[in-house]
Amino acid sequence: MGDRFAVHGLGAVKLLLASPTPYLLAVLAIAALGLVQAGFQRANAASVVAALTAVDTIGPILAGFLLYHERFPSGAAGPLLAVGIATAILGTTLLAARLESLPKLPLDGG
């Protein structure tokens, strides 16, 4: 969306409203917010934020490689990036495996 505004200025509003982009972004944003809220209901905030941060970090990196055909870094940066991604995935997996269900609370007023 930002690219459209950079190229077309305010004329981008008409172009964007005619495309599925803003509507798809709105639906995905609402779905993501719902998943985060469900996470907060089921786990502590530190675990949810750690998992969210891992996805927020790895997602754009993978999108750069898969969608924009960015080159994998050469030299020492390549292995360090791979180790960083693997560490984030492993940490998220370990957090998910340790997730304990919340205790059942008695219902009020009954």
pLDDT at 22: 85
pLDDT at 103: 57
DSSP 14-71: HHHHTSSHHHHHHHHHHHHHHHHHHHHHHS-HHHHHHHHHHHHHHHHHHHHHHTS-PP
12 close to 4: Cβ distance less than 8 angstroms: yes
Tell me the per-residue pLDDT of 71-104, one tens digit each, with 9 for 90 and over.
Answer: 999 999 999 999 999 998 888 888 777 665 555 6
Q: Which helix (H) or strand (E) holds 13?
A: helix 12-17
pLDDT at 23: 92
Q: What is the pTM of this model?
A: 0.58
Tell me the per-residue pLDDT of 41-72, one tens digit each, with 9 for 90 and over.
Answer: 888 888 888 888 888 889 899 989 998 899 99
Q: pLDDT at residue 106 above 70?
A: no
